[in-house]
Amino acid sequence: MRIAVVYNRDSQNVINLFGMPNQEKIGLKTIKRLTDALRAGGHQVAAIEADKELISKLESFMPRVVAGERPGMVFNVSYGLQGQARYTHVPSILEMVGIPYVASGPLGHSLALDKVVTKMILRQHSIPTPEFAVLETPEMPIPGDLPYPMVVKPKNEAVSFGLAVVNDESELRASAKVIFDRFSQPVLAEQYIEGREINVGLLGNAPPEAFPPVLLSFGDGPQIYTYEDKTGRSGRQIQPVCPAPISEELTAEAQQIAVRTFSALGLYDCARVDMRMDANDNLYVLEANSLPSLGEHGSYLVGAAHVGLEFEGFVNRLVEVASARYFGTPQPPPVDARAADPSKRAFQFITQRRDAMERSLQRWVQVSSRTDDPVGLERAAERAGRVLTDVGMLPVPELTQQAEAHMYQTARGFDSGVLLVAHLDVPVIAGGLRQGYRRDPEWLYGEGVGRSRASLVMLEYALRALRSTRSLRRVPLGVLLYCDEGRDAARSRRVIEQAAARAEQVLVCRPGTVGHGIVTQRRGSRRYDLTIEGERLSPGQVGRRRPVVRWACEKVEAIGQLSSPRRRLSIGVIDMNTERHAMFMPHRVEVSLMMSYLSVAHADETEAAMRKVLGRGGPKWSLNRLTDRPPMPDRPANRPLAEALEAAATKWDIGVERESSAWPSVAGLVGDSTAVVCGVSPAMKDGGTPEEAVQRISLVERTLLLTEYLTGWIGR
């Protein structure tokens, strides 16, 4: 499990320094002991200071999980940075963003921190606590029945801040004024119980387990535990004695009172209840500490050690206690790997390898294989080949063309089975700068990360998951990797058509959309080169015909008017260049046009109309069709495949929505009788730009989706 130890120590990384600053500091030694103990328990651990960047740091360390996957957890030892109710700050943030955590929630912390509210609740539950009064001002009168000596302390502070014993009116007023001046809050004055101080630690829930009581031996000096004692500034050593030298009956009573206090305040997982015992063995609850100190010599850990929980064991037991509260069982029960559901085993394989998947994605981004880079494409093909042969896939020589396409299949073959199609090249406009890999809490960035690289990682880990369940060899499956997406698959087209004709279902691994889209319909596209040659005219010269640039612009505008939303057909300019001689206006114009269409018949009609618009009587022109990528219509043959993907998504509560796309893909090369769905790869944003990114959670979700779909082909 991923566990973040969240603490406060030195950071002042807030928007404004405002309100009462935190004065409780957790030691660096304690933080290291915590992280070491958790790592020894087999957890992935990060130590994160709680400031305004807490959410982004947590999201980066433990990204959003899929349904059925256990999320990470926070081991909360944060006392807060500043302001009121500081113990509640981190738990409140964690509640908001949906991250489980160790120890009490905001409500329990707020009740325990407010000593007056605590005492009122204790009285309602008939739990003994010393008599008390609240001073709203330093001069406020004290009830006459509250005898001296008294203990005064701030109403809403912890670790004995401002604690003092007062013996008369003058000492009371002086101490109250100090508290008001320093803490700006009411003062709690309570009856001082002459006697011994006992602490009882608790671990667990409903009900918690009470540790043996620990007696605090104060030696010489005040018989109370002051802030100076807790921070080692008093010059004396407070000795915790465990078990406390009291009778078994008193031990049981102290433990019972502690458990009742824990429950009355709504605390979770761990706490320490501090009590005083008078000369007649009467016990009184002073306060409950909802975030007990985990310092090496603190009374809480002394009590835990007495029941056999040394620090490492205690820390991991506390994680199990919190896990049981959130998830029902501390750890999943062991499974028989031979008998378990292959889907569940594959699910565990993938969700336990999030980091490995992102590292693999980073390595792929570092492999440069632009469409016009034959050396880079060769390296990419070699890397992909190593991955596929490592999982047991076999080359298919008759469908492999060294520079255009590489085909692999399982031992079962892929005839009448499934074909997965992805591309190794990264289409980039010439001269574009390479974008390196980076990540933020939600997105993974890099050149080609969404258009190509995430698909390759998804394929790899879906195949590895099936191999881990010993199922891959029983799936009729082929993988075709082509290398010329940036050239509209012109060279690999024949191989793709041949391979698709042998399969029953084809999945084209192009990126999905952030809205959980898979593509069941795509338009086709045609690219044209329009060349126009006119007269060579100097500025201001009047020729026999209009200047070629003006004529070209008018004709291009007229061609654009042929677009028809009703027919789902559009035409637009994607590039325009002119050529001229020195001291002359342009005499030649080259225009690149793209037509996006859903119907081939409509495309043919529109192409004829384009030629008619250009007409006769103007400059010399030529219109050449450079490429033609067929559309992928939403035909009946595709629907069972889309339904199978939807069923696979339902298994793990993954969102899937059918969508139509205006952009073409090689899915249009699949014959009418073969089922095909596109856009099954992880969700992408800003494709083809320097900000191209793939969604982190989608990388896991789409890998699970593909794996679950392929699991349905086992043995077919």
Q: Are residues 352 and 493 in the same domain?
A: yes
Q: Tell me the pLDDT tens digit for each residue of 528-554.
A: 999 999 888 888 777 666 789 999 999
Q: Are residues 304 and 385 in the same domain?
A: no
Q: How confident is the model at residue 27 (pLDDT cuts 50, 70, 90)?
A: confident
Q: How confident is the model at residue 141 (pLDDT cuts 50, 70, 90)?
A: confident
Over residues 620-635, the mean pLDDT reads: 96
CATH code of the domain containing 6:
3.40.50
Predicted confidence at residue 335, as pLDDT, reads 42
What secondary structure, in 3-state letters, does 329-375 show? CCCCCCCCCCCCCHHHHHHHHHHCCHHHHHHHHHHHHHCCCECCCHH
Higher pLDDT, 582 or 211: 211
Q: Are residues 253 and 119 in the same domain?
A: yes
Among the listed ranges 171-175, 334-338, 379-383, 633-637, which one has the minimum average pLDDT value? 334-338
Over residues 676-701, the mean pLDDT reads: 96
Q: Is a pLDDT exceeding 50 seen at residue 337?
A: no
Predicted confidence at residue 331, as pLDDT, reads 53
Is there a contact between 67 and 28 (Cβ–Cβ < 8 Å)? no
Predicted confidence at residue 329, as pLDDT, reads 63
Predicted confidence at residue 318, as pLDDT, reads 96
Q: Residue 192 carries which DSSP code?
A: -
Rounded to whole angstroms, how far apart are CA atoms 310 and 303?
10
Q: Are residues 623 and 657 in the same domain?
A: no
Q: Tell me the pLDDT tens digit for each residue of 54-69.
A: 999 998 898 888 877 7
Q: Which positions ≥6 away from 206 have C-beta within 8 Å?
A: none
Higher pLDDT, 162 or 14: 14
Q: Tell me the pLDDT tens digit for each residue of 354-366.
A: 999 999 999 999 9
Q: Are residues 209 and 286 in the same domain?
A: yes
Q: Are residues 118 and 244 in the same domain?
A: yes
Is there a contact between 405 and 399 (Cβ–Cβ < 8 Å)? yes
Over residues 168-181, the mean pLDDT reads: 88
Helices (H), 211-295: 227-230, 248-264
Q: Tell me the pLDDT tens digit for each residue of 240-257.
A: 999 999 999 999 999 999
Instruction: Return contacts of 536-543, CB within 8 angstroms, 24+ apart.
Output: 536/581, 536/584, 536/585, 536/587, 537/584, 537/585, 537/587, 538/583, 538/584, 538/585, 539/585
Strands of 109-206 (E only): list them.
132-135, 150-154, 164-166, 187-191, 196-204
CATH code of the domain containing 145:
3.30.470.20
382 is a domain residue? yes
Higher pLDDT, 138 or 470: 470
333 is a domain residue? no
Q: How confident is the model at residue 9 (pLDDT cuts 50, 70, 90)?
A: confident
Q: Tell me the pLDDT tens digit for each residue of 649-667.
A: 999 899 999 999 999 999 9
Predicted confidence at residue 64, as pLDDT, reads 82
Q: Tell me the pLDDT tens digit for each residue of 299-324.
A: 999 999 999 999 999 999 999 999 99
Q: Are residues 608 and 695 in the same domain?
A: no
Residue tagged 């384009």 (tokens): 610
Q: Are residues 507 and 641 in the same domain?
A: yes
Is there a contact between 688 and 451 (Cβ–Cβ < 8 Å)? yes
Of 265, 290, 314, the residue that ends a domain is: 314
Q: How confident is the model at residue 340 (pLDDT cuts 50, 70, 90)?
A: low
339 is a domain residue? no
Look at the alpha carbons of 189, 194, 199, 205 in this order and tell me if their dihedral is positive or negative: negative
Is there a contact between 22 and 83 (Cβ–Cβ < 8 Å)? no
327 is a domain residue? no
CATH code of the domain containing 686:
3.40.630.10
Over residues 146-171, the mean pLDDT reads: 82
Over residues 471-497, the mean pLDDT reads: 96
Angle of helix 115-124 versus helix 106-113 axis, rounded to 10: 100
Rounded to whole angstroms, how far apart are CA atoms 693 and 445?
4
Of 256, 290, 314, the residue that ends a domain is: 314
Of 597, 612, 629, the residue that ends a domain is: 629
Over residues 442-447, the mean pLDDT reads: 96
Q: Which positions ≥6 away from 554 have C-beta within 8 Å?
A: none
Q: Is a pLDDT exceeding 50 seen at residue 336?
A: no
Six-digit token pair at 493? 């087209």
Q: Are residues 393 and 444 in the same domain?
A: yes
Predicted confidence at residue 458, as pLDDT, reads 98
Strands of 606-716 (E only): list them.
620-629, 657-661, 675-678, 681-685, 693-695
- Measured at the CA of 568, the angle between CA 573 and CA 423, to 5 degrees, comes to 70
Q: Is a pLDDT exceeding 70 seen at residue 128?
A: yes
321 is a domain residue? no
Rounded to whole angstroms, how far apart are CA atoms 461 and 5?
30
Q: Are residues 210 and 308 in the same domain?
A: yes
Among the listed ranges 139-148, 415-424, 611-620, which one has the minimum average pLDDT value? 139-148
Is there a contact between 571 and 560 (Cβ–Cβ < 8 Å)? yes
In which domain, by residue range, is 392 found?
346-522+633-711
Q: Are residues 297 and 377 in the same domain?
A: no
287 is a domain residue? yes
Total number of domains constituting the chain: 4
User: Quick one: which H or E segment has residue 322?
Assistant: helix 311-327
Q: Is a pLDDT exceeding 80 seen at residue 429?
A: no
Predicted TM-score (pTM) above 0.75 = yes
Write down the mean pLDDT value for the chain: 91
Q: Is a pLDDT exceeding 70 seen at residue 159?
A: no
329 is a domain residue? no
380 is a domain residue? yes
Predicted confidence at residue 228, as pLDDT, reads 59
Is there a contact between 428 and 435 (Cβ–Cβ < 8 Å)? no
Q: Are residues 565 and 643 in the same domain?
A: no
